[in-house]
């Protein structure tokens, strides 16, 4: 469904010297700076896939999504979505995808959401019957029946995002580009949006490319992730492989001794040293194959009130990937 080959976008920005005279100088001699927001990015996404697009701030995620949506032109390379070249901005392509930017609104601020939906119905030429059916389904899935006639500016952030999603899906796109759709939402709204996206993806086999800084979004929704850093793709594969195959093939052991005096403040095992926290807890990061040995060492050292073995948080795995890339 999505085919990206060596997609590159270089931004050229004017470097203004500070102050008034800096501005005047700039009139005569302009200095430019080039930023490669996307460098030689290639990937394929099959129909119905739900792919997470990860990277730190400024990695080039939004730039790539905007190129796929035809909002900005690539400097070089090609992109094809369902056979269309986004940069040509054909109407048939506009009907095929939707782009949701969590940080921007497409709904009319001073009107109830339903008015924007009606406008979109006309823009996309959606038949009355299809409009009614789609709207009823989306509104009920997202639970916003009671808010359709409320001015958008009076909606909560979560309600507004749900309305944005309805606006994006009214014309039944086959491809969805979601740029941080859960940003700023409370945990309950984040979960509601996630549940909706999962159900929608499964029911309609819509192809979804999602960026989010919330790892829960990625872990709950995406089996595959593409990671980019400084404009370059550094990983493309399953989330499991990313977690298992990372340099941090480790687990975290946390324990609280029954008698704190039985353990020194700094306790050393064969595989590392842990320092007691104010709450009396010790935390050790150990290689996965040493988990049993270290657990036995802890239990031999003295009775424990609690012991847990956890996976390294995905955030840490990814942070390590960025650091080594």
**What is the distance between the alpha carbons of residues 261 and 78, in angstroms, rounded to a whole number?**
65
Pick 58 or 143: Cβ nearer ligand ATP: 58
Axis-axis angle for helices 128-142, 157-169 (nearest 10): 150
Pick 34 or 278: Cβ nearer ligand ATP: 34
Retrieve residue 52's tokens.
Answer: 């997470």
Pick 55 or 86: Cβ nearer ligand ATP: 55
Asked if 251 contacts 291 with a C-beta cutoff of 8 angstroms, the reply is yes
**Among residues 3, 6, 10, 11, the one that binds ligand ATP under rule CB under 6 A:** 11
Shortest gap between Cβ of 25 and ligand ATP (angstroms)?
A: 21
Work out whether 257 is an interface residue with ligand ATP (CB under 6 A).
no
Pick 37 or 141: Cβ nearer ligand ATP: 37
Pick 63 or 201: Cβ nearer ligand ATP: 63
Pick 11 or 204: Cβ nearer ligand ATP: 11
Please report which helix (H) or strand (E) contains residue 319, including its range: helix 314-324
Site of tokens 């298992």: 244
Work out whether 158 is an interface residue with ligand ATP (CB under 6 A).
no
Pick 35 or 78: Cβ nearer ligand ATP: 35
Q: What are phi and psi of 129, to 5 degrees?
A: -65, -45
Work out whether 127 is an interface residue with ligand ATP (CB under 6 A).
no
**Contact mark string toward ligand ATP, 37..66, x via CB under 6 A:** x-----------------x-xxxxxxx---
Shortest gap between Cβ of 11 and ligand ATP (angstroms)?
A: 3
Number of residues that bind ligand ATP (CB under 6 A): 12
In sequence order, the β-bridge partners of residue 53 are: 211, 226
Contacts with 128 (C-beta within 8 Å, 6 or more apart), sequence order:
none
**What is the distance between the alpha carbons of residues 312 and 297, in angstroms, rounded to a whole number?**
21
Shortest gap between Cβ of 55 and ligand ATP (angstroms)?
A: 5
What sign for the dihedral angle of Cα 151, 157, 163, 164? Answer: positive
**Among residues 6, 8, 35, 219, the one that binds ligand ATP under rule CB under 6 A:** 35
Find the largest Cα–Cα distance for the chain.
76
Work out whether 285 is an interface residue with ligand ATP (CB under 6 A).
no
Work out whether 229 is an interface residue with ligand ATP (CB under 6 A).
no
**What is the distance between the alpha carbons of residues 173 and 98, in angstroms, rounded to a whole number?**
6
Shortest gap between Cβ of 305 and ligand ATP (angstroms)?
A: 41
Axis-axis angle for helices 187-204, 128-142 (nearest 10): 140
Asked if 45 contacts 209 with a C-beta cutoff of 8 angstroms, the reply is yes
Shortest gap between Cβ of 253 and ligand ATP (angstroms)?
A: 33
Residue 306's nearest CA partner among 270, 254, 266, 263 is 254
Shortest gap between Cβ of 299 and ligand ATP (angstroms)?
A: 44
Retrieve residue 257's tokens.
Answer: 């001794």
Give the interface with ligand ATP as residue ranges (CB under 6 A): 11, 13, 35, 37, 55, 57-63
């Amino acid at each position: 469904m999505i085919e990206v080959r060596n997609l590159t976008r270089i931004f050229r920005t004017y470097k203004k010297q500070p102050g008034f005279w800096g501005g005047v100088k700039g009139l005569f001699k302009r200095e430019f700076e080039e930023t490669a927001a996307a460098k030689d990015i290639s990937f394929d996404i099959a129909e119905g896939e739900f792919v997470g697009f990860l990277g730190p701030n400024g990695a080039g995620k939004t730039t790539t999504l905007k190129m796929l949506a035809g909002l900005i032109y690539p400097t070089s390379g090609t992109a094809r979505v369902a056979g269309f070249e986004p940069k040509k901005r054909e109407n048939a392509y506009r009907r095929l995808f939707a782009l949701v930017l969590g940080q921007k609104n497409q709904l009319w601020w001073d009107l109830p959401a339903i008015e924007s939906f009606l406008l979109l119905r006309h823009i996309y030429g959606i038949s009355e019957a299809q409009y009614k059916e789609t709207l009823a389904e989306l509104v009920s899935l997202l639970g916003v029946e009671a808010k359709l006639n409320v001015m958008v500016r009076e909606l909560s952030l979560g309600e507004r995002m749900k309305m944005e999603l309805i606006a994006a899906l009214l014309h039944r796109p086959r491809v969805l580009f979601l740029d941080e759709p859960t940003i700023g939402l409370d945990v309950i709204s984040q979960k509601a949006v996630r549940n909706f996206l999962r159900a929608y993806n499964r029911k309609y086999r819509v192809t979804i490319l999602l960026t989010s800084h919330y790892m829960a979004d990625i872990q709950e929704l995406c089996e595959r992730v593409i990671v980019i850093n400084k404009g370059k793709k550094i990983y493309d594969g399953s989330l499991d492989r990313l977690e298992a195959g990372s340099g941090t093939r480790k687990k975290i052991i946390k324990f609280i001794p029954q008698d704190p005096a039985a353990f020194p403040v700094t306790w050393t095992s064969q595989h590392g040293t842990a320092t007691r926290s104010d709450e009396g807890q010790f935390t050790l990061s150990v290689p996965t194959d040493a988990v049993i040995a270290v657990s036995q060492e802890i239990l031999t050292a003295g009775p424990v009130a609690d012991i847990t073995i956890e996976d390294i948080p995905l955030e840490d795995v990814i942070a390590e990937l960025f650091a080594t890339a």
